[in-house]
């Protein structure tokens, strides 16, 4: 199959431009070492373990600063009762105290506190922390969210900050899901916004570890406009049919490592959208859910930029998608330098999918002459079973085909049905090692 001579591949590349009804094309594998091909981007610092240089530094900074806390502040000392009534006021006061002192706010264990929508605002003294040992439940009356229906808990502009403790954020989302038009099709449904459970907004040097998130009305944990983030040991749980309940949502965020996290939910386990760069997810378990997604990108003719994403060591069980890149017609910008490595799929409906005709609305979407450009995407050592016949789907844009798609050691067998196929439109890919099922001519 390869190496092909440069002349032949040049011919194939040229020929591909003249085909107008969609095409796929196989190119010889890059001559450079695949393991290091992302390193050409100046923002990545090459090390043996592929750590991003910036993250390693951030990690150290957080570790050092957290060793010198300035005392603790318990929400109970500010009047929190954990008796089913609203504890927001006590939490607000405790936060102000902890934030101004650089202390550890403590939410005691074995108690359930209830909070209305609340913003914990920074900037704070460095080393402020939020240790949740017990449970915080969302206020369930929708009228409490009148001012801002999009958020329940927001950590706003905090730096050198950590959240942990092993406790639970429970978004109590059931009532919200039932009113969603995705679920409730016959009665008066409401497609207005639903609150995201916990949002970190414009945070710097942030560590979120050892926590449980449950039943968010919408997304569970969102990082928006953050820089240098470490996320590990989270457990996120919502029913498989709960609408838009993404596990971890990364937006406009740079340098984030998510590791050892177990997510079962009704939408993407992890979603990464525009403005995100240097995103690393390792040792992720996902299911049920919609898989690990980049996108959706380019909705409403918007420009999207996502680069340097590594998903390494993930297990997906019974999910609708495995690893997915989804873009809308009519967008612009790019998603590039993406690696999906060492991924196990068990009975996943679309194990590998690129969908550049994504359309999550009632009205059909028209094909347009612009799209978010996908390039330099590596799929390496991806194995397991597909619940559907189409195990691999590259549905790339006709206007802006996918370039530099690398497939190495990918084997996706059928899960208790006839066979698997790959459908490949408007994609220029290279394969090395095993590739099953292959694109059919
Ligand atoms: C595989 O997934 C399909 C569709 O999601 C489901 O109907 C089927 O029961 C699953 N099979 C196993 C063995 O889990």
Q: What is the pLDDT of residue 244?
A: 96
The DSSP bridge partners found for residue 280 are 257, 310
Q: Which of 204, 206, 281 is nearest to 247 (CA)?
A: 281
- In the residue annotation, 290 being an active-site residue is answered as yes
State the distance from the centre of ligand 1 to the C-alpha of 109, rounded, in angstroms: 39
Of residues 16 and 26, more confidently modeled: 26
- Is residue 186 predicted with pLDDT exceeding 90? no
> Residue ranges of the domains in the chain?
22-262, 291-441
Give 70's pLDDT tier (boundaries 50, 70, 90): confident
Q: What is the pLDDT of residue 324?
A: 98
How far CA 229 is from CA of 43, 54, 109, in Å, comes to 16, 10, 26
* Ligand 1 pocket, mutate which of 290, 318, 412 (most atoms under 8 A from CB): 318
Question: Active site residue: 63, 151, 290, 417, which one?
Answer: 290
State the distance from the centre of ligand 1 to the C-alpha of 287, rounded, in angstroms: 12
- Is residue 11 predicted with pLDDT exceeding 70? no
Give 377's pLDDT tier (boundaries 50, 70, 90): very high
CATH topology for 291-441 is Pectate Lyase C-like (2.160.20)
State the distance from the centre of ligand 1 to the C-alpha of 318, rounded, in angstroms: 7
| Residues 389, 394, 399, 401, Cα dihedral to 10° | -150
State the distance from the centre of ligand 1 to the C-alpha of 241, rounded, in angstroms: 15
Same-fold call for 22-262 versus 291-441: yes
Residues with CB under 6 A from ligand 1: 318, 347, 349, 387, 415
> Before 358, cis peptide (omega within 30)?
no
Q: What is the pLDDT of residue 413?
A: 97
Q: Confirm or reject CATH 2.160.20.10 for domain 22-262, answering yes or no.
A: yes
* Ligand 1 pocket, mutate which of 317, 320, 387, 420 (most atoms under 8 A from CB): 387
* pLDDT above 90 as % of the chain: 79
pLDDT tens-place string over residues 147-158: 999 999 999 999
pLDDT (average), residues 38-54:
31
Residue 402 — φ and ψ, nearest 5°?
Answer: -75, 135
Q: Which of 156, 271, 262, 258 is nearest to 218 (CA)?
A: 271
- Is residue 42 predicted with pLDDT exceeding 50? no
């Amino acid at each position: 199959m390869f190496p092909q001579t440069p002349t032949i591949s040049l011919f194939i590349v040229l020929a591909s431009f003249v085909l107008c009804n969609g095409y796929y094309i196989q190119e010889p594998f890059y001559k450079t070492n695949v393991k290091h091909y992302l390193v050409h981007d100046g923002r990545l610092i090459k090390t043996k373990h592929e750590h991003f240089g910036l993250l390693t530094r951030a990690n150290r900074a957080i570790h050092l600063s957290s060793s010198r806390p300035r005392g603790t502040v318990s929400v109970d000392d500010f009047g929190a009762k954990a008796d089913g009534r609203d504890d927001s006021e006590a939490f607000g006061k405790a936060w102000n105290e902890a934030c101004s002192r650089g202390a550890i706010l403590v939410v005691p264990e074995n108690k359930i506190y209830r909070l209305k929508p609340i913003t914990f605002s920074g900037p704070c003294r460095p080393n402020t922390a939020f240790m949740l040992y017990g449970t915080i439940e969302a206020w369930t009356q929708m009228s409490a969210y009148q001012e801002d229906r999009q958020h329940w808990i927001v950590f706003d502009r905090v730096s050198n900050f950590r959240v942990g403790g092993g406790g639970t954020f429970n978004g109590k989302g059931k009532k919200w899901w039932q009113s969603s038009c995705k679920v409730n099709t016959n009665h008066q449904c409401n497609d207005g916004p639903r609150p995201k459970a916990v949002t970190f907004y414009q945070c710097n040097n942030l560590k979120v570890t050892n926590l449980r998130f449950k039943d968010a009305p919408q997304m569970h944990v969102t990082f928006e406009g953050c820089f240098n983030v470490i996320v590990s040991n989270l457990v996120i749980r919502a029913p498989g049919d709960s609408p838009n309940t993404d596990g971890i949502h990364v937006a406009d965020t740079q340098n984030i490592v998510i590791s050892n996290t177990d997510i079962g939910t009704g939408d993407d386990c992890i979603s990464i959208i525009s403005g995100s760069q240097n995103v690393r997810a390792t040792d992720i378990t996902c299911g049920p859910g919609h898989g690990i997604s980049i996108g959706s990108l380019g909705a409403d003719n918007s420009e999207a930029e996502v680069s340097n994403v590594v998903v390494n060591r993930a297990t997906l069980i019974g999910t609708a998608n495995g690893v997915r890149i989804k873009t809308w017609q009519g967008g612009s910008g790019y998603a590039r330098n993406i690696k999906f490595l060492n991924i196990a799929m068990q009975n996943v409906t679309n194990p590998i999918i690129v969908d550049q005709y994504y359309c999550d609305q009632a009205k059909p979407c028209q094909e347009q002459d612009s799209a978010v450009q996908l390039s330099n995407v590596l799929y390496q050592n991806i194995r397991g079973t597909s619940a559907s016949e189409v195990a691999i789907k590259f549905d790339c844009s006709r206007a802006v085909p996918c370039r530099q798609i690398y497939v190495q050691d990918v084997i996706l067998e059928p899960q208790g049905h006839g066979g698997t196929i790959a459908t490949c439109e408007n994609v220029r890919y290279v394969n090395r090692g095993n590739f099953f099922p292959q694109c059919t001519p």
